[in-house]
Amino acid sequence: MNRDSAERALWFEVWPVACRKPGILRSPGYSAMVHASKMILEAIMKVAPDVLTDDLAEKWDESYQRFENTLFFPSEGVIRFVNKHIRRRTGIDSYTHAFGAPPEVLEIGSGAGRHLVFLAKAGFRPTGVELSAVACEQARALLAYEDVKADACDILNISATDLPFEDDRFPYAVSSATLDSMPTTTARAVIAEVHRAVRPGGLFFVDLIADDALRLGAVDADGDQIVTETHESGTIQSYFNTDKITDLFTGFNIRDIYKMQMTTVDNEIRNSRFYATLEKRDGG
C-alpha cells in the first residue's frame, strides 16, 4: 500500500466515522482499525527517503501556493536567540560588538525568507535550505523587495538530509518550525547533517511543537502524524518532548531550553512549543 492509499484509509474512512459516531471510539472494532492504520502509518514514515521527500515537497508546494506559511516577520525565538547568544542590537546602527566578515548562518527550512531577511539585515550571511520550490520563489521575491543584495544570501531548493557543505563550516544554524514538520526518522538525518556542517562550539537554534498540543488525528509511536486539516494538509506533524529532544540531538549540549504555551482563559492549550539553543560538542 502506498502513502496516498494508506492516508485515505486512515483519515478519510476510519476517523470521519468515529467523529460522526463518538460511541464507536470505545468499540473493539474501531480500536482494531486504528491499530492497523497506525501500523500502516509507521511503515509509511520509514519508506525510501527519496519517495517521501518528493511527496512532502509536493505537499509543501501546495501549502505555500495557498500562502499558509508565507510569513514576513521573524519569529521571536530566532530574534531572542541572536540577541541573547550572538550579539544584541543596542541602537539604530549599533550592537554589543562588531563583526569582522559577516558570520555565516545555515537555516534549515527557510520557507518564504523571513529569517533570511532578518539575518542578512542583522549583519550575517545566511544560507537557506528549503524543500519547497514555491517557498524558494517567494523568498527570493521577499529578499528583492527588502533590498537584500543577491550576493548577501543563498537559497538552495534541496532536501536537508544531504547538505552540500563541507564539515565544520557554519558557526551558527537555525531551524524554526521545520524539524517538527517531517517524520522523526527524517529529522534525525537532518540533525546529523547539521551537526556535521556546524563547527565545534557552534550554536544551533530550534523550535519544536510539544506533545501536549496535538492536532486532530492519530499519532504513531515516533510522535508523527499525517495532517488532515486544511492548513498544511498532507504534510507531517511530529511532536516532541524532552526525552525525544535529548535522543535526537546527540552530539550537542543543550545551552538553553524553555517551553512556551498559549492557552485560552479556560486553560485549553492552543499552542505549545520548545525553544532550544544547542552547542556542538568538541570532538563530536
Query: Cα–Cα distances in Å, from 121 out to 19, 32, 80, 199?
Result: 48, 54, 15, 23
| Distant-in-sequence, close-in-space partners of 2: CB < 8 Å, separation ≥ 6 | none
Single-letter amino acid code for the residue at 122: A
pLDDT, residue 30, reads 45
Q: What pLDDT was estimated at residue 19?
A: 40
Intra-chain end-to-end CA distance of the chain, in Å: 39
Instruction: Specify the length of the chain in residues.
Output: 284
Task: Check: CB of residue 161 under 8 Å from CB of residue 53.
Answer: yes
Q: Identify the CATH number of the domain defined by range 47-280.
A: 3.40.50.150
Query: SS3 for the chain, per residue?
Result: CCHHHHHHHHHHHHHHHHHHCHHHHHCHHHHHHHHHHHHHHHHHCCCCHHHHHHHHHHHHHHHHHCCCCCCCCCCHHHHHHHHHHCCCEEECCEECCCCCCCCEEEEECCCCCHHHHHHHHCCCEEEEECCCHHHHHHHHHHHHHCCCCHHHCEEECCCCCCCCCCCCCEEEEEEECCCCCCCHHHHHHHHHHHHHHEEEEEEEEEEEEECCCCCCCCCCCCCEEECCCCCCCCCEEECECHHHHHHHCCCEEEEEEEEEEEECCCCCEEEEEEEEEEEECCCC
* pLDDT < 50 regions, the chain: 1-26, 30, 34, 37-38, 40-52
How far apart CA 64 and CA 271 sit, in angstroms, is 21
pLDDT (0 to 100) of residue 29: 54
Domain boundaries, the chain: 1-44, 47-280
Q: Which three cell numbers stand for residue 218?
A: 492519530
> Do residues 199 and 280 lie in contact, with contact meaning Cβ atoms separated by under 8 Å?
yes
